[in-house]
Structure 1
C-alpha cells in the first residue's frame, strides 16, 4: 500500500525565537501549510494539494511554525492522527501517529521541532493515547524524544530464473480461487480483509479510508502520478476473501526479449495456503524476470518457499520502519501478551517524564502481564527509546545489551528480561502514514 503522506523532515534543536509562533492551524491556512511541507521535504511545488489535505484535516492536530519577521511565513509543519497498533497477543492499543514533520532549512536549530513534538505528545497523553508512532527519514532525530525503532521493512528482490519457482510440495488452498478485481472492487473488499489481517500481525496499524482512496485512484494527491495497478484477490472454497496482491509491471525489454520487473505494492494473506497461491500467480506472469517487494515481514517464509532461496536478495529499502514512543507503561504492558512467566525491574530514563522511573514488569503463566511502579532494586537500566524498541519484540535484550544500550544491574537480568519480552512473531508494519 502506498504511503499515506509525507514523512519526517529536518531536525531542530534549541529555543524558539520570539519572532516564531508555533500553533495549531485553521483549515483556511492549509494552502500555506501545503507550500511549507513541500519546501521542507525539498520537493518542487508542482500543484496545490489543499483539497486533498482537507480530507485529512482535524482541528487541533495540525501545527505550523510561523515567522512574524518574514510576514508570517509558514516555516514548519507537523500533524498527527489517531490510529490503532496491534501488539503481541493480538490486542490493539490507541496510538498517536505523527507525520508531515518539516522545518525549513532557513529555520533549523531554533527549537521548532521540539516545540511541536512536545505539544503533540502532551496532548496525546491527555487524550489517552498509549504510545506515539512515526517513520523517521533520518535515524538520529527522534531518539531524544523517547522514540525507538520498533519494526523493520525487510524487502526482497527475486531473480525468477535463479529461483526456479516455488517448491512443488507447498500446500495450496483447497478449493480456493484467484481472480482480478477492479479498483472499485478493491476499495470495497480490501478494507475488510485488512481489518481481519492486522489483528494477526504485531506492529500493524489501522488503515485510513484515505489510504484506500489513494491506492485505488478514487482520490489523487497533486504532484504524484497514479497508474492503475493489477489487483488479484484470493477466495476460499466458501467464497470468502482471504488474501490480495496489488502490483505493477514495468515495460522493459532487452531488444526483442522481455526484461520486466513486477513490483508488489500490497500483499495480504490470512493463511499459508492463500499466500502460496498468490505468490504462484505472481511468479507465473509472462515477461517478468524479477519480482521486487520493498516491505516484507522479517519472518516472511517466501525465500524458503523457493527452490533456490539465494535468489531472494535484500531490497535496497530494507531498513528500520515504524518508530515507537511509549506514553503509558501500565496500559502498554497490560495490553500485550507474554510467552513465558517472569518478573524484572527496569530503571527507565525518560527526560520527557512520561515513563521515567523504576518499574516492575511481570507476567503470569496465562500470558497476561502488568507494569507497576516499584522501589525494588532494578535488574536493568535503559532509556525510553530502547524500551520502545523492545516493546513489540522487534529487538532482543541481549542484542541491545551488547550494543551498550541496556545495562545489566543484576547478574541474570538480561536473560530474565529476554525470556519475558521475546515474541514468537516479529513485529511488522506494511504501511506508511
Structure 2
C-alpha cells in the first residue's frame, strides 16, 4: 500500500476537509461549502495530508502564532491544529511523520515554541509537548450566588454598554492585545478570528447564532472589558429558567472583569450561567458572596507547549529571583536537546550550552509543562519524571519558574 505524505495543493482542500470531518466524527454533509469558507484561512505550504491511492486519510496543519510568556514578552510559535488520522489508517506512523516534518520546518523558521490544544491527552507527550496551562468551566446558580439583584451598574464610575459585532471588530483587537501583554499563556488573535467570532465570516460547520456583546468602559471612557454571551428562552409554570452561556470574556483590568460578571449575573430571568474555559484561578467563584454557587463542570489541561529553542525560550521570560540551574534536556524529536545553564535574575536571564554537571535531568515534555510557571519541578521529581541530580535543584527551579497567578490561554485553535 502506497502512502504519500505531502503538503496539499489547492485542489486537495475538499478531500482534506473531508478527512478532517472523518477524524473528528463529524457528519460529511457540507464538505464542499466548508472547504470554500476556510480556503482563505489555510496556508497550503503549512498544511499536510497523508494520501492513500489519492484519498486523504490523515491531516495536519500549522500556522504562525505569538505566545505571551511570563513577564509579557511574545515569542513566535508554531501552532498545530486539525490533526487527524482516519480510523482505517491508524498505527502506521502517519502522525509521527507529519509531526516530525512540521516541527523541523518550524525550527528552521526560527519559531521558539510549538503549541497545540490536545483532543486526547496521551498522544502529544511522545513528541515533546507538555501541558502548560489548564482551564476550568463553571456553572453558576444565579439565585444562590448572593449578588445584589438590584445592581444597576459599576460603582467605580465605569459603565457597561450593549454593542454589535461591528463594534467588537473595531474595539476588540486592541483590548485583547492589552490582555495578552499581561497574561502569560495567551495567544494572538488575527483579523480572521474576529470576523469569524462576530459572524462576519460564517463556517457551515459552526451555524451562527447572533450573541450579545457587552463593553465595559472605565470612568475615563477607555474600553477595558468585553463580554460575549448567548441565552436560551426557557420557562416552566410561568417561571423563568433561562440560561446564559459565555463564549468570551476579555478584561484588561480586574475592575472590568468584576463588572462584566456582575452585569451578567444580574440580568432578569437568567437563573444559570455557564462560563467559557477560564483560568483555574479565575476571579470566579470568589467574587460571589456564596462561592459554592459556582460549580466546576470541567477542569482539564488546555494549552500544550514544546520548546524548539531552549536558550531563546528561557531568556524570553522573566524570573522573580536570582539563581542558576544546569538543565540536561532530552528531546524525542532530536530538535532541541542539550545541556544548558540558566542564569536568571529579576534583571534578566542568559541560557547557554554547557558541559557542566546537570542539576536537573528532564524531558522536553516536562520542560514544556514547567515553562509558563504552572507546574512544579518538585512534584515532577516526586513522580519520577524529573531527576534531581543536585539536592535542592527542584526547589530552586520552582522558585525561579513558578508564577503568582496561573497561566491561561483564552482561545482554542
Q: Which bin holds the TM-score, normalised by the shorter protein? A: over 0.9
Within-5 A mapping of 1:49-60: 49-60=34-45
User: Is the Cα–Cα contact under 8 Å of residues 167 and 307 in structure 1 kept in the other structure?
Assistant: no
User: Is the Cα–Cα contact under 8 Å of residues 234 and 241 in structure 1 kept in the other structure?
Assistant: yes
RMSD over aligned CA atoms reads 1.7
Q: CA deviation at 1:173?
A: 6.1
User: Is the Cα–Cα contact under 8 Å of residues 199 and 210 in structure 2 kept in the other structure?
Assistant: yes
Q: CA deviation at 1:160?
A: 1.3
Choose the corresponding residue for 2:352, options 358, 372, 384: 372
Q: Deviation string for 1:122-164 (max 9, x for gaps)?
A: 0000000001001111100011100000111122111112211
Structure 1 residues 173, 192: CA separation in 2 closer, same or farther (over 3 Å shift)?
Answer: farther
Within-5 A mapping of 1:83-162: 83-162=65-144
User: Is the Cα–Cα contact under 8 Å of residues 46 and 223 in structure 1 kept in the other structure?
Assistant: no
Q: CA deviation at 1:81?
A: 0.3
The residue number in structure 1 matching 2:336 is 355
Q: CA deviation at 1:275?
A: 1.4
The residue number in structure 2 matching 1:298 is 280
Within-5 A mapping of 1:196-215: 196-215=178-197
Q: CA deviation at 1:166?
A: 6.7
> In the alignment, does 2:355 pair up with 1:337?
no
Structure 1 residues 254, 168: CA separation in 2 closer, same or farther (over 3 Å shift)?
Answer: closer
Q: CA deviation at 1:51?
A: 1.5
Structure 2 residues without counterparts, runs of 5 or longer: none
Q: Deviation string for 1:366-403 (max 9, x for gaps)?
A: 2x112211111111111100000000012111121222
Q: CA deviation at 1:208?
A: 2.4
Q: Deviation string for 1:23-76 (max 9, x for gaps)?
A: 0011221111111111111111121211222111213101111102xxx11101
Within-5 A mapping of 1:11-410: 19-47=2-30, 48=32, 49-68=34-53, 72-165=54-147, 172=154, 174-316=156-298, 318-366=299-347, 368-410=348-390
SS in 2 for 1:354: coil
Structure 1 residues 267, 166: CA separation in 2 closer, same or farther (over 3 Å shift)?
Answer: farther
**Quick one: distance in 2 between partners of 1:394 and 1:225?**
35
**Quick one: distance in 2 between partners of 1:205 and 1:76?**
26
Shift >3 Å, 4+ stretches: 166-169
Q: Deviation string for 1:303-347 (max 9, x for gaps)?
A: 11111112111123x210111010001110110000111111111
**Quick one: distance in 2 between partners of 1:252 and 1:46?**
30
**Quick one: distance in 2 between partners of 1:182 and 1:212?**
12
SS in 2 for 1:77: strand
**Quick one: distance in 2 between partners of 1:189 and 1:294?**
21
- TM-score computed with the length of structure 2 as normaliser: 0.96
User: Is the Cα–Cα contact under 8 Å of residues 163 and 311 in structure 1 kept in the other structure?
Assistant: yes
Structure 1 residues without counterparts, runs of 5 or longer: 1-17
Size of the alignment, in residue pairs? 410
- Range with bigger deviation, 118-127 or 390-399: 390-399
SS in 1 for 2:45: coil
SS in 2 for 1:303: coil
Q: CA deviation at 1:168?
A: 11
SS in 1 for 2:201: coil
User: Is the Cα–Cα contact under 8 Å of residues 318 and 346 in structure 2 kept in the other structure?
Assistant: no
SS in 2 for 1:299: coil
- TM-score computed with the length of structure 1 as normaliser: 0.92
The residue number in structure 2 matching 1:6 is none
Q: CA deviation at 1:185?
A: 1.3
Structure 1 residues 353, 166: CA separation in 2 closer, same or farther (over 3 Å shift)?
Answer: farther
**Quick one: distance in 2 between partners of 1:176 and 1:294?**
24
